[in-house]
A and B are shown apart, each in its own frame.
Chain A
Amino acid sequence: IPAPAPVQKTAQAEIYLSQFGYLPASAKNPSSGGLLDQETWERAIRDFQSFAGLNVTGELDSETTELMSLPRCGVRDKIG
């Protein structure tokens, strides 16, 4: 498997966080213009960092984007 390229852009992180249940599904397609307020965005990152056992910073830091690029199961972490 090619070495995972860390998730660079916020857009990819948005797709990832909505794919795995941290953001509303609408965010999965950022081109739909689904605007996100800062609080929702930061909470989503905090939730993911907490679930994954990372330092909970609320920021898309390198440790977080690195983990987002690892191979994983496609089932959502947060289910309704």
Chain B
Amino acid sequence: FGSDSRSKRYALQGSRWKVKNLTYRISKYPKRLKRSDVDAELARAFAVWSGYTDLTFTPKSTNPVHIEIRFEENEHGDGDPFDGPGGTLAHAYFPVYGGDAHFDDAELWTIGSPRGTNLFQVAAHEFGHSLGLSHSDVRSALMAPFYRGFDPVFKLDSDDIYAIQALYGKKTTRGASYPTSPSTRKPSFVPRAEDNELCKDPRIDTIFNTAEGFTYAFKGDKYYRLTENAVAEGYPKLISEGWPGLEGDIDAAFTYKNGKTYFFKGTKYWRYYGRQMDGDYPKEISDGFVGIPDHIDAAMVWGGNGKIYFYKGTKFWRFDPLKRPPVKQTYPKPISNWEGLPNNLDAALQYTNGYTYFFKGDKYYRFNDRTFSVDEVNPPFPRPTAYWWFGC
């Protein structure tokens, strides 16, 4: 840093990994969260950094690994004891000191909720240290030292991006990463339109993320994996091959924080864990989702509160699996409550960049969770889905 009049910016500790394909292991889990939820959230936290570099992070269940992750309380063997709820939330070691990350398990770690302390945000910060970043004095930066509360629309600050790319260079590879918001997506290659059915007719049946952070669009009996610029090469593929036992012409789909993906069609629904059917499906929607109608248009898990929203015609329902009944008497409500959204939607998605997107016909809308209305930006929404999502 320069004099007091220095510009604010990131700081590098001085060490970094000499390799880019890093491994990690969660050797001690938190008391109050499900392991599968923690696995998914920490994978997302690592993906924050692999989205802007060629770093890759592979989870392992045995040592040796580059980065070991532990949830501990009080003194835990490194001479830097935790201090109970509040105060210090976590700490991590720079690469030269091993890169491990420790989280204070006296904290109430939460996922997708304004309560407690958001695991994803704190983990993404600590992994910045594990990669060689020090604290930034840019208050909006992820690498600022203070926890700033749950941010449903998380985006990496440019200061963080400059910092990590100063250490590991810009991203040159494609594939699963922490994508930027589609509003900044630019197709880095344009598939020949005749190869990509979605360019001719961009209307989709549904779109959803998997627990691993991949994004898929369904249309008829086929599915497409989406990268941050376009449709991934080698698609479409058959839904029945991707998710054995699943039918085509799906109405809606979402992945819940338990890491399981739910598919809806007509009066039925299926549950999958990864690509495997997770039990005896299909079942009746009225069985597993009491209060939700059949033949829905769209569904998603909203980042604002972690609850599940279903859309049909001019109405929407909110489903909270943790409540009885899961759908309050006050539902359905008019979709017009979601200011700027049309009725009769095709699909809805909370994208891995934290934004919420709605699709109808050949257009899509980006929803601003803070103003609770369609984002007012230039170029305005709705925007052509084919260009911004499918690389046409």
Q: Which residues on the A side are within 8 Å of B108 (C-beta)?
A: 1
Asked, given contacts A4-B86, A53-B137, whether A72 binds B80 with beta carbons under 8 Å apart, the answer is: no
B125 at the interface (CB under 8 A from A): yes
Total inter-chain residue pairs, C-beta < 8 Å: 71
Q: Which residues on the A side are within 8 Å of B129 (C-beta)?
A: 73, 75
Selected from A1, A56, A71, A74, the residue in CB contact (under 8 A) with B146 is A71
B72 nearest CB across to chain A (Å):
12
Interface of B is mostly: loop
Report whether A75 and B145 are in contact in the complex, using a CB–CB cutoff of 8 Å. Answer: yes
Q: Which residues on the A side are within 8 Å of B117 (C-beta)?
A: 1, 71
Report whether B147 and A72 are in contact in the complex, using a CB–CB cutoff of 8 Å. Answer: yes
Report whether A74 and B134 are in contact in the complex, using a CB–CB cutoff of 8 Å. Answer: no
Q: Which residues on the B side are within 8 Å of A63 (C-beta)?
A: none
Query: Which chain B residues in 127-172 approach chain A with CB under 8 Å?
Result: 129, 134-135, 137, 139, 145-147
Report whether B139 and A53 are in contact in the complex, using a CB–CB cutoff of 8 Å. Answer: yes
Selected from B4, B85, B90, the residue in CB contact (under 8 A) with A73 is B90
B59-95: contact bitstring with A at CB < 8 Å (1 yes, 0 no)?
0000000000000000000001010011111111000
Nearest opposing residue in chain A for B126, CB measure: A73
Query: Which chain B residues in 4-19 approach chain A with CB under 8 Å?
Result: 4, 8, 11, 13-14
Q: Which residues on the B side are within 8 Å of A77 (C-beta)?
A: 134-135, 145
Nearest opposing residue in chain B for A16, CB measure: B87
A41 at the interface (CB under 8 A from B): no
A50 at the interface (CB under 8 A from B): yes
B85 nearest CB across to chain A (Å):
5
Report whether B139 and A73 are in contact in the complex, using a CB–CB cutoff of 8 Å. Answer: no
Q: Bound state CA distance, A76 and B92, in angstroms?
A: 10
B116 at the interface (CB under 8 A from A): yes
B46 nearest CB across to chain A (Å):
17
Query: Which chain A residues in 51-73 approach chain B with CB under 8 Å?
Result: 51-53, 56, 67, 69-73
Q: Bound state CA distance, A70 and B90, in angstroms?
A: 13
Selected from A51, A72, A75, the residue in CB contact (under 8 A) with B92 is A75
Report whether B146 and A72 are in contact in the complex, using a CB–CB cutoff of 8 Å. Answer: yes
Report whether B86 and A67 are in contact in the complex, using a CB–CB cutoff of 8 Å. Answer: no
**Known contacts A1-B108, A71-B86, A72-B87; can you find 6 more A-B pairs with CB under 8 A?**
A53-B137, A70-B146, A73-B126, A74-B80, A74-B82, A74-B89
- Can you list the 9 inter-chain pairs with the closest CB atoms, starting with the nearest? A74-B91, A74-B88, A71-B147, A51-B137, A77-B135, A1-B86, A72-B146, A72-B145, A73-B145
**Could you show 23 A-B contacts with beta carbons less than 8 Å apart?**
A1-B86, A1-B117, A4-B86, A50-B4, A51-B135, A56-B4, A70-B146, A71-B86, A71-B87, A71-B88, A71-B107, A72-B87, A72-B89, A72-B145, A73-B88, A73-B90, A73-B122, A73-B125, A74-B89, A74-B91, A77-B135, A79-B14, A79-B134
